[in-house]
Amino acid sequence: MAIEVITREDLNEFRTLLLADLKELLQTKTQITKQWLKSNEVRKLLNISPGTLQNLRVNGTITYTKIGGILYYSNSDLEKLLESNKVEATPNLFNPKWLVG
């Protein structure tokens, strides 16, 4: 039985290769997104209740497609909705005047 010695350099090389592989996997995973989502997927994504999702549909905030009895939501429409409702942070909230000497 042969004994193989692993050096620090071997471990560093392994770590570098492992990190590169993980980065590649994460990049390909984020690029593969579903085009159409069902109601339960949208609720999980937005962390909202079924009633809230229904209200967003009824008041026209979220567009959807109904086929049979199943509602589908466009992933790109949801991303546009989130972007269009983004509120920019105001930097002065973290710099109260009473803290400044």
How remote is the C-alpha of 57 from its chain's centroid?
22
Alpha-carbon 13 to chain mean position = 31
Spatial CA neighbour of 82 closest among 47, 54, 34: 47
CA distance linking residue 81 with residue 85, whole number of Å: 6
- Given the structure tokens 């999980």, which residue do they identify? 44
- Under the banding of pLDDT at 50, 70 and 90, the label for residue 95 is low
Question: Structure tokens of 1?
Answer: 């039985």
What pTM does this model have? 0.58
| E strand or H helix that includes residue 76 | helix 75-84
pLDDT digits (tens, 9 = 90+) for 46-78: 999 999 999 999 999 999 999 999 999 999 999
